[in-house]
Amino acid sequence: MNINLKRYQETAVDQLVDAVKGLLGKDGQKKVCVFQAPTGSGKTVMTAKFIENLIKELPDEDMCFVWVSIGKGDLHLQSKHSLEKIFGGSPRVSLVEEEFTGSRERVVKNEVVVVNWEKLRSKDRETGDWKNTLMKDGEKLNFRDVLFKTREQRKIILVIDESHIGATAERTNELREEICADVILEMSATPKIQPDPRDIARGVAGYIFIEPKEVIDAGVIKKELIINEKIGEISSNEMDSQEVILEAAYKKRLALKKLFEAEKSSINPLVLVQIPTAEAGEDKIKAVKQFLDKKGIVERKDGHGNGKLAIWLSEWKSETLEWVAESDNEIEYLIFKQAIDTGWDCPRAHILVKFRESHSETFEIQTVGRILRMPELKHYSHEDLNKGFIFTNVQSIIVKKEEYNPNIIKHLKADRKDCYKKIGLTSYYKARADYGDITSSFDDVFEEVACKKLELEKENFFDQNLKIVEKKGVIVNLKQYQQEIITDAKIEGKSFDDLEGKIDFEQKTRLNIAGNDLQIMFEQVIKNNLGSFRNVKRSVPKVKTSIYLWFRKYLGTKDWDEEMTLIQKVFLHNGNRKVFEAILVEAIDAFKAVRDKEIQKRIEASEQFYDFDVQPEDFFNQHADERVKAKKYVYEPCYLNVDRSGPEREFEKFLEENADKIIWWWKNGENKNDYFGIKYFYPENMINTFYPDYLVQFVGGKIGIFETKDQGDRDGQTYTKAKAEKLQAYIKEQNTKGKKLFGGIAIQRNGVWKINQKPEKNDWSDWQDFEI
């Protein structure tokens, strides 16, 4: 199956391959690699691609894979179905209960065996004997025997899906002992174990981590989850809390559907309704069905009904789950009693209705995780489509802090005060376009530069091209790559205290370089020559791919044994390295112009100007925001980010000390189109968005726009100068259109606030005391 991976996914796959290749080369068993990726980031797809690529890069390695699901339900069946779909027939995917009932002795080379450990692990409490026939000793081979015989012939890589499940990770420990794999890959959003950094440094453990921000920026998951939005507008004396949250969810779904239609998208947003698991659950199902029946939303039974309502059934097969998840599926509401199986992927699920549980008020991330994914793997121009919505009738909410993404759930509501009147300021927004990395467009640039330097004109003329590059002094026929290391060196004890600096020894010997060292050297050459492309994690895998593609296209390396390793050897060989490094430097330099055009196109496609007003309500997170006493803040109550800078906190005190001259003030945010932004250029021709820190409505009618800075931030060549000058230009332009604006960069000096309102920001002579 051809899957276009996002850049963070490509990087993670490459890192997984490199880490596991290194671990396979080490002695011993049970070497662990932890793969930590946020909920909704595509862990299954990335791990499947890792398996594919590992098999391609190690064609001579005799290995197999055991893919284990932990936890109740049929996640393993979904995993098998997903893997088969991704692999498209190769490698082979088997289900343990179908293939290993006594007739097979071993797992074959490159095979992926899918296991539900929950079904296999049960033992008799008194005797300690295995209960499941697949694990019991008997006349036929059990699965433990199969694993033992497999280990005699080939290496086993154990993949533990959602390894965090289980309070003490007891099941994970069982797996390690029973399967006794050469390498254990634990994949989870919140892994229970973290490898020792010293083991990672020594290459006997691995750790691959994906930042949640990377996943959000890529448009794969939603920016935030909002709890009980505008629920106060629906509440009435005639409606109980159950009806209120159902009505709020109903109206929100209709609004989202209209927004998708405005985006010319066929997405039919789905509402998930979670019913309590206690006996009261059946009554809740009846109540929900009655409410939806009044709205014309009913189940389809025996050919009757519109099918807009469905009830989750534990016996649903993977084909049914896929059908429900289709973007334009007719089902609008899905009721489920038990938690939806971890791993079920339904990106069109946009709203979660959660009724009160008698025993718990805690939101579990795997429950809300079902509404985290973006349906079309992109963010939209309307921010509501980039959010998930939760409606619940619990009296209070305990949100577990997610260490990997603490600000995802926003459940603290604040309402805009009545003193606020619409201001309609022209605001600018653009989606992030530059990640400081090298992209797939580098393939063509590297090809052009390499062919020009080596005077190659035709692809697929391998023999002819090999002769040409050899005439250029490139040695291609390499059987091994060696490095010089010190031999028979002696340092006299009396000289220890006198040693300083680099020491050269005359006697050296040449030894074959280890495969993992070769990989490190190859990547280091790339890192050393990335120039202005600072995102090493994203860039190195892409440059490697471009180099590999060129070798395959022009020198026919597809037919080489251990293709990737030999390419690295040729690239790094003494005389060759200067040639290829020069090509790499020139290609990366040439790519800058290509990248600038790419960025410009992305910006032009995403940028928008609109009339800005502070939203009627906003939502906050108890771990990321703090409640602050403020008389004049535009929202009640006042929640502000806990990571505000010192100057920002001091400026807020300054505003509150002058409360008699202020109607309201508001703290701006960043990188969303419900914040206030100004377009500016820095460096020249590079488009950026400036989000001023504060908007302030004064008693006299003026609106102030202020950016606070530390006293030390006064360098005239920095972004601050560009922002300051653009702010003054913006104020001047808006005032010609009838606005009453003023503002500038604000700095506290010797306890006194000063402001710069000059068209051009220079030295301290341009700063005046800020008197409100």
Q: Considering only CA atoms, which of 602, 571, 771, 560 is closest in space to residue 687?
A: 602
Given this model, what pLDDT does residue 501 score?
46
39 vs 135, residue with greater confidence: 39
Q: What is the pLDDT of residue 588?
A: 94
Helices (H) and strands (E) in the chain, counts: 21, 33
Angle (CA) 491 496 500, round 5°: 100
Radius of gyration of the chain (CA): 31
CB distance 508 to 484 below 8 Å: yes
Q: Are β-strands 183-188 and 694-698 bridged in parallel, bridged antiparallel, or unpaired?
A: unpaired
Residue 346 pLDDT: 82
Of 23, 53, 54, the C-alpha closest to 181 is 23
Read off the pTM. Answer: 0.62
Position 253 pLDDT exceeds 70: yes
DSSP summary character for residue 439:
-
Residue 140: its pLDDT value, please? 59
In this structure, what token pair is assigned to residue 716? 């005239």
Q: Calculate mean pLDDT across residues 664-684.
A: 86
Q: Is the pLDDT of residue 739 over 90?
A: yes
What are the tens digits of pLDDT across the range 399-429? 554 444 545 678 788 999 999 999 999 999 8
User: Which residue has better confidence, 513 or 737?
Assistant: 737
Residue with more model confidence, 366 or 441: 441
**pLDDT at position 472:** 85
Q: Which residue has the higher pLDDT, 33 or 683?
A: 33
Q: What confidence tier does 316 reach under pLDDT thresholds 50, 70, 90?
A: low
Would you say 621 and 411 are in contact if contact means Cβ atoms under 8 Å apart? yes
Task: Decide which of 404 and 240 is more confident.
Answer: 240
Residue 403: predicted pLDDT: 46
Q: Please state, for a pLDDT cut of 90, what percent of the chain lies above it.
A: 36
- Structure confidence at residue 122 as a pLDDT band (50, 70, 90): low
Element (H, E) at 163: none
pLDDT digits (tens, 9 = 90+) for 334-357: 988 765 555 567 889 999 998 866
* Best mean pLDDT range from 78-87, 255-264, 305-314, 407-416: 255-264
3-state secondary structure of 206: strand
Residue 601's CB is within 10 A of a number of other CB atoms, namely 11
- Burial code of 162-187, b = ≥16 C-beta within 10 A, e = fewer? bbbbbeebebbebbbebbbbbbbbbb
Phi first, then psi: give them for residue 238, nearest 5 degrees: -90, -5
Tens-digit pLDDT profile for residues 43-58: 999 999 999 999 998 9
Q: Does pLDDT of 300 surpass 70?
A: yes
**583-609: pLDDT as tens digits:** 999 999 999 989 888 888 887 777 889
| Greatest mean pLDDT among 38-42, 524-528, 597-601 | 524-528
CA distances from 220 to 5, 101, 213, 341 (A): 11, 40, 10, 20
The dihedral built from the CA positions of residue 107, 110, 111 and 115, taken in this order, carries a sign that is positive
Widest Cα–Cα separation across the chain = 96
How many CA atoms lie less than 13 Å away from 651 in the CB half-sphere? 26
Q: Is the pLDDT of residue 72 over 70?
A: no
pLDDT of residue 483: 44
